[in-house]
């Protein structure tokens, strides 16, 4: 499974991939058209198998795992 960084973290449970996630985010009709996102860049990493105990699925430790997966350059 992959996770993508677009300044938000998306867990890709359905295996949509970057292009489909971009389309979904950009074409979603938000209430009152309050936002109109345009995806400019993606980063992706393989996060292995998803489970209830996956570090990104835990309230404690999710931020640390995010920083480990997407270190600042």
Instruction: Give pLDDT tens digits for 55-70.
Output: 999 999 999 999 999 9
What is the model's pLDDT at position 6? 75
pLDDT tens-place string over residues 12-58: 989 999 889 888 888 888 888 787 888 888 889 999 999 999 999 99
Other CB atoms within 10 A of residue 23 CB: 12
- Burial class of residue 2, CB neighbours in 10 A (0-12, 13-18, 19+): middle
pLDDT at 73 over 90: no
Domain spans of the chain?
Answer: 2-69
For the whole model, what pTM was predicted?
0.63
Instruction: State how far the alpha carbon of 43 is from the alpha carbons of 34, 40, 49, 65, 73, in Å.
Output: 26, 11, 19, 15, 12
Label residue 23 left, alpha or beta by phi (over 0 means left) and psi (-120 to 50 means alpha).
alpha
What is the model's pLDDT at position 34? 82
Provide the token pair at 7: 């300044």
């Amino acid at each position: 499974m992959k996770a993508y960084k677009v300044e938000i973290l998306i867990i890709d449970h359905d295996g949509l991939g970057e292009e489909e996630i971009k389309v979904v985010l950009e074409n979603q009709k938000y209430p009152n058209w309050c936002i109109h996102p345009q995806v400019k860049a993606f980063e992706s990493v393989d996060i292995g198998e998803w489970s209830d105990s996956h570090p990104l699925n835990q309230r404690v430790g999710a931020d640390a795992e995010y920083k480990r997966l997407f270190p600042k350059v």
